[in-house]
Amino acid sequence: MSEIILKTENLGISFGAHKAVSNVSLEIEKGKLTTILGPNGAGKTTFFNLISGLLTPTTGKIFFDGTDITSLSPTKRVAIGVGRSFQLTNVFPKLTAYENVRLAAQSHYKVGFKLLTNFDKFSNVNERTEEILERVLLLDRKNSLASDLTHGEQRKLELGMALALDPKVLLLDEPTAGMAIEEVPTMIDIITKTHALGTTIVLIEHKMDMVKKLSDRLVILANGSVLADGDPEAVSKNPEVLAAYLGGGVLNEISS
């Protein structure tokens, strides 16, 4: 049994009478890529919001590396290694690609405004920024304003900003959503390389071919609860899972 880096215990949240996430108990193994799939409104993004601390659970607990982080602020969660990229792009449009990543790297190295007294750290930050831009295939676009990047490049930049914080667990919410089809393979490549470098990844994704190619494990959420969990190939053929998708009109997508 491998080491568990992230664990939820009976995690749940209600919005009024609606249980968006209900009693989710999951153990995420270190170094693995786990994909969460589910129909629209299943609670996937809400689950990520609970893990990253943007929402406070109504029930249950969250453990990171064995420590209860349920009451920790989102900023502290990032500092201990819970990284996140969002479904919608979250970059600073008036800064260059380089400046966006450098800001994230600066906060990781805790370089504040006293750059001159932190000269060694400052050169580390610059090196780290270049290295991250290379990893997300944006080195040749480093001087472009984020607002001038394509949507796909902005998603890569956002991933770069999350990587600059050196996360131990990276939560990726539909990283290829809205991307031009020809940009998808490069994003898959970046995720594959990040995983190969040892980062634990939890991915929300709808593209079934991508899910099967990348994932060590597939978890299906439906109506806020775990419906199936296990080997991606087996889970995608599970009759209960196929039935859950009948109403969502994506049966062909999941069984292909």
Ligand X SMILES: Nc1ncnc2c1ncn2[C@@H]1O[C@H](COP(=O)(O)OP(=O)(O)OP(=O)(O)O)[C@@H](O)[C@H]1O
Smaller CB separation from ligand X, 44 or 135 = 44
CA–CA dist 252, 249 (Å, integer): 8
Show the CA angle centred on residue 211, arms to residues 209 and 217, nearest 5°.
Answer: 140
Say how many residues touch ligand X, by CB under 6 A.
10
Q: Which residues between 29 and 88 bind ligand X (CB under 6 A)?
A: 38, 40-46
- Shortest Å distance, C-beta 38 to ligand X: 5
Query: 169: which strand partners?
Result: 82, 200
CB of 18 closer than 8 Å to CB of 43: no
CB of 4 closer than 8 Å to CB of 207: no
| Of 220, 170, 228, 171, the residue nearest 199 (C-alpha) | 170
- Shortest Å distance, C-beta 173 to ligand X: 8
Q: Which residues between 4 and 23 bind ligand X (CB under 6 A)?
A: 15, 20
DSSP state for residue 144 in the 8-state scheme = S
Radius of gyration of the chain (CA): 19
Smaller CB separation from ligand X, 43 or 152 = 43
**Is residue 179 within a helix (H) or strand (E), and if so which, with residue range?**
none
- Shortest Å distance, C-beta 225 to ligand X: 12
Smaller CB separation from ligand X, 46 or 176 = 46
Smaller CB separation from ligand X, 54 or 145 = 54
Smaller CB separation from ligand X, 125 or 227 = 227
- Shortest Å distance, C-beta 33 to ligand X: 19
CB of 222 closer than 8 Å to CB of 244: yes
Smaller CB separation from ligand X, 164 or 220 = 220
| Dihedral angle of Cα 28, 45, 248, 29, to the nearest 10 degrees | -10
One character per residue 144-183, x = contact with ligand X (rule: CB under 6 A): ----------------------------------------
Smaller CB separation from ligand X, 125 or 218 = 218
**Is residue 219 within a helix (H) or strand (E), and if so which, with residue range?**
strand 217-222
- Shortest Å distance, C-beta 26 to ligand X: 15
- Shortest Å distance, C-beta 190 to ligand X: 22
- Shortest Å distance, C-beta 11 to ligand X: 13
Query: 226: which strand partners?
Result: 221
What letter represents residue 107's amino acid? S
By CB under 6 A, name the binding residues for ligand X: 15, 20, 38, 40-46
